[in-house]
Amino acid sequence: MSHSPALTVERPSAAPPPMRHGSSTKRKQNIAAYLFVLPFFVVFVAMLVVPLVYSGYLSLFESKLIGGDAFAGLANYVRALQDSAFLASIGRMGLFFVIQVPIMLGLALFLALALDTGRARGSKGVRLLVFMPYAVPAVVATLMWGYLYGPDFGPIAQVARAVGFGTPDFLSPVNILGSMMNIVTWEFVGYNMIIMYAALRSIPGELYEAAEIDGAGQFRIAWSVKIPAIRPAILLTVIFSIIGTFQLFAEPSLLNAIAPDAITNSFTPNYYAYNLAFINQELNYAAAIAFLLGLFIAIVSYIVQLSSQRRERRERSAS
Amino acid sequence: MTALDTRAAVTIGDTTGSRRAKRNFDPKKRRSVLLTVLLWLCVLYFVLPLWWLLVSATKDNSGLFSTFGLWFGGGFSFFENLQTLFTVRDGIFARWLVNTLVYSLASAVGATLLATMAGYAFAKYEFPGKKALFSATLGAIMIPLTALALPTYLLFSEAGLTDTPWAVIVPSLVTPFGVYLMRVYAADAVDDSLIEAARVDGAGEFRIFWQVGLRLLGPGLVTVFLFSLVATWNNYFLPLIMLNTSDLYPITVGLAQLQAAASAGGGSQALFSTVITGSFVSILPLIIAFLFLQRYWQSGLSTGSVKG
């Protein structure tokens, strides 16, 4: 009977007690649980753990013209950390992250809060229409915006010419990063808005009823009740944005076709790894780049999570 | 000052709806014109590009260049465009559409099944190693999947599986976030006493899962299904590196190839309008799926993000 506590804790008193709490029942349940998680973890190991380990293994080798692959230790990593193209791509994505993510998440939060107040007409329509770009593949979104930016039949250029501003060049080397930020913002505001909105809807009303009775305005309530209450959801969107930003691929690779001067083969780290592996045939070096990129993303996500937890703890102890 | 849209609350899951229902009546509640205008201005930004796509799909190549992009003009050639789209290169576009459907349905069904079983077990069983396995799953959410695509490609190539549908489907079966979502969802949706009662009736653990669990996990299932469907449908990187044969391409890789041909100026004149019509056709199925299933995925997500 030594195994019964776990079972009785889980079970509310409503159901009649089972005949026997014997360890054989417990063992049967354990086996069932393992069988339930087994299929997922088989694929998990095969498609996630093995490639990860393999990538780490490959990155330690160097392919020589004569004699095939030779163990190189950390040489690929040393090379990557001195590779100005790789570092520039990380820096470019850092800039992208610092500018685009606050705009995207700010807009998403504004929309979610505005919809949650229920003071606008047709909120349901707004919600669906803003979310719609999420169902558009990045390839199609980039193609579409590429045409919209285009100098020939792009409507933005048509309007600008009609007003007398001349033809704006969204695809020049200076402007391309901003143009890409706009594409990604367009794609993902709706997705982030839905996550935040869903979290807002599940705040218990009692939390801000008191504030409303005290006469606090909607801005006050949003700032000091609603936003703190959905902090976990916001953190989730930040983490997803970190991952998404540093592995941008479809956008640069498609913009490259229409703006080859502006998009270098190392515009984003992921695009660089792809070009190294499949154009330059430098598989080992590409594996090191991919591994470093993954490590970098994991560390940044971890720091963001940690600082958010610390801040929460500090605020809790202050109040 | 209850600022609530009751109609919006109805579409969300029953739990949140009932929690708020008691605050519905409030005499001071009022609509804000300013907010309405602001919101609908935002909507314009998200909708205008899609509107442009719709309008442009009705124009032929010369119409694209000679008429204003945001309004119809230069004749209505939508059906000609469709015909060109489905006949170009011996109708390969239809083939791509079918490939995308097969890849994303197979991946989504498989991923949902795996995530549901695992999430249900994490929510409803206590077993040795549960904590470690779940932490591994959570940690994996942070692994960028495209950083894995390269070594996955090499492994598949050693097994001789590149350039087959499996190379696109199997890697898409892992959704750590889906497992997390299903665990949170199952913890609330499946009552422990129901499981216990079924056990007393002598049902096996698997029968309980199929007949009791799955029935209660509906919205969670739809959510995970839709999001893995979108992930595979929209994936570009993985099929791009895994597949070489045009006949096996999904629509994303195919469209990118058509576009490259169009901007290189090679081949036929009609390519721009073909690419645009192809883009338009390729986004319709997902938008329709999201519209029809919104009741389910919105309530499924709301549970997931509470404890997010």
> Which whole-number Å values give the CA distances from A26 to A3, A32, A295, B129, in the listed order?
7, 10, 40, 15
Mutation choice for A interface testing from B22, B31, B127 by most A CBs within 10 A: B127
**Cα–Cα distance between A137 and A250 in angstroms, integer?**
9
Alpha-carbon gap: B43 to the closest alpha carbon of chain A (Å): 6
Predicted pLDDT at A67: 64
Predicted pLDDT at A157: 85
- Beta-ladder partners of A71: A61
Alpha-carbon gap: B95 to the closest alpha carbon of chain A (Å): 18
Name the residue among A187, A182, A177 with its Cα closest to residue A140: A187
ipTM of this predicted structure: 0.84
- Chain A residue numbers with beta carbons less than 8 Å from the beta carbon of B234 are 136-139
Assess whether pLDDT exceeds 70 at residue A139: yes
CB contact (8 A) between residue B69 and residue A293: no
Assess whether pLDDT exceeds 60 at residue B18: no
Asked whether the whole model's pTM tops 0.95, one would answer no
Alpha-carbon gap: A217 to the closest alpha carbon of chain B (Å): 9
**Cα–Cα distance between B54 and B48 in angstroms, integer?**
10
Domain A80-318 has CATH 1.10.3720.10: yes
* φ and ψ of A72, to 5 deg: -125, 5
Predicted pLDDT at B187: 87
Task: Assign A5 a pLDDT band (cuts: 50, 70, 90).
Answer: very low
Considering only residues A206 and A47, tell me which one the structure prediction assigns the higher pLDDT: A47
Predicted pLDDT at B20: 44
The three state secondary structure string of B25-68 is CCCCCCCCHHHHHHHHHHHHHHHHHHHHHHHHCCCCHHHHHHCC
Task: Assign B17 a pLDDT band (cuts: 50, 70, 90).
Answer: very low
**Residue B239, domain member (yes or no):** yes
Strand, helix or coil for residue A64: strand
Assess whether pLDDT exceeds 60 at residue A240: yes
| Domain that residue B289 falls in | 92-306
**Residue B191, domain member (yes or no):** yes
Q: Does B31 touch chain A (CB under 8 A)?
A: yes
Q: Does B210 touch chain A (CB under 8 A)?
A: no
Predicted pLDDT at A87: 94
Predicted pLDDT at B4: 26
Assess whether pLDDT exceeds 90 at residue A268: yes
Show which of residues 113-142 on chain B sit within 8 Å of chain A, judged by CB atoms: 113-115, 117-118, 120-122, 124-128, 130, 133, 136-137, 140-142
Alpha-carbon gap: A92 to the closest alpha carbon of chain B (Å): 18
Assess whether pLDDT exceeds 60 at residue A171: yes
The token pair that represents A175 in the structure block: 């402007």
Assess whether pLDDT exceeds 50 at residue A155: yes
CB contact (8 A) between residue A118 and residue B3: yes
Mean pLDDT of chain B: 82
**Residue B165, domain member (yes or no):** yes
Averaging pLDDT over each range in A117-126, A162-171, A250-259, which range is the top one?
Answer: A250-259
Show which of residues 169-208 on chain B sit within 8 Å of chain A, judged by CB atoms: 170-171, 173-174, 176, 179, 192-193, 196-197, 199-200, 204-206
The token pair that represents A230 in the structure block: 């959905």
Q: Does A183 touch chain B (CB under 8 A)?
A: no
**Residue B86, domain member (yes or no):** no
CB contact (8 A) between residue B200 and residue A154: no
Q: Does A40 touch chain B (CB under 8 A)?
A: yes
- Mean pLDDT value of segment B236-255: 94
- Chain B residue numbers with beta carbons less than 8 Å from the beta carbon of A212 are 1-2
The token pair that represents B306 in the structure block: 């509470």
Predicted pLDDT at B240: 93
**CATH number of the domain that residue B101 is part of:** 1.10.3720.10
- Mean pLDDT value of segment B235-262: 92
Nearest CB to B205: which of A32, A115, A247?
A: A32
Assess whether pLDDT exceeds 80 at residue B101: yes
pLDDT in tens, A19-70: 455 678 888 888 999 999 999 999 999 999 999 899 889 889 887 766 677 8
- Chain A residue numbers with beta carbons less than 8 Å from the beta carbon of B196 are 11, 15, 18
**Residue B58, domain member (yes or no):** no
Predicted pLDDT at B227: 86
Q: Does A279 touch chain B (CB under 8 A)?
A: no
How many contacts (CB atoms, under 8 Å) link A and B? 337
- Which residue, chain included where needed, has tokens 């719709």? B54
**Residue B299, domain member (yes or no):** yes
**Residue B37, domain member (yes or no):** no
Q: How many helices (H) and strands (E) does chain A have?
A: 16, 2
CB contact (8 A) between residue B301 and residue A198: yes
Predicted pLDDT at B21: 40
CB contact (8 A) between residue B39 and residue A58: no
Task: Assign B9 a pLDDT band (cuts: 50, 70, 90).
Answer: very low
User: How many independent structural domains does chain B possess?
Assistant: 1
Q: Where are the beta strands (DSSP E) in chain B?
A: none
CB contact (8 A) between residue B46 and residue A190: yes
CB contact (8 A) between residue A11 and residue B64: no
CA angle, B121 then A230 then B30, to 5°: 125
**Residue B44, domain member (yes or no):** no
CB contact (8 A) between residue A40 and residue B19: no
Handedness of CA A288, A289, A294, A297 (dihedral sign): positive
Show which of residues 230-259 on chain B sit within 8 Å of chain A, judged by CB atoms: 230, 233-234, 236-237, 241, 251-253, 255-256, 259
**Do residues B104 and B232 lie in contact, with contact meaning Cβ atoms separated by under 8 Å?**
yes
- Chain B residue numbers with beta carbons less than 8 Å from the beta carbon of A283 are 150, 154
The token pair that represents A72 in the structure block: 């190189």
Handedness of CA A312, A314, A315, A316 (dihedral sign): positive
Assess whether pLDDT exceeds 80 at residue B296: no
> Which whole-number Å values give the CA distances from B196 to A9, A17, A23, B184, B191, in the listed order?
12, 9, 16, 20, 9
- Mean pLDDT value of segment B134-157: 83
- Chain B residue numbers with beta carbons less than 8 Å from the beta carbon of A194 are 298, 301
- Mean pLDDT value of segment B268-273: 68
Considering only residues B287 and A19, tell me which one the structure prediction assigns the higher pLDDT: B287
Q: Does B215 touch chain A (CB under 8 A)?
A: no
Alpha-carbon gap: A48 to the closest alpha carbon of chain B (Å): 7
Residue spans of the domains in chain A: they are 4-58, 80-318
Strand, helix or coil for residue A61: strand
Q: What percent of chain B has pLDDT over 70?
A: 83
Task: Assign B219 a pLDDT band (cuts: 50, 70, 90).
Answer: confident
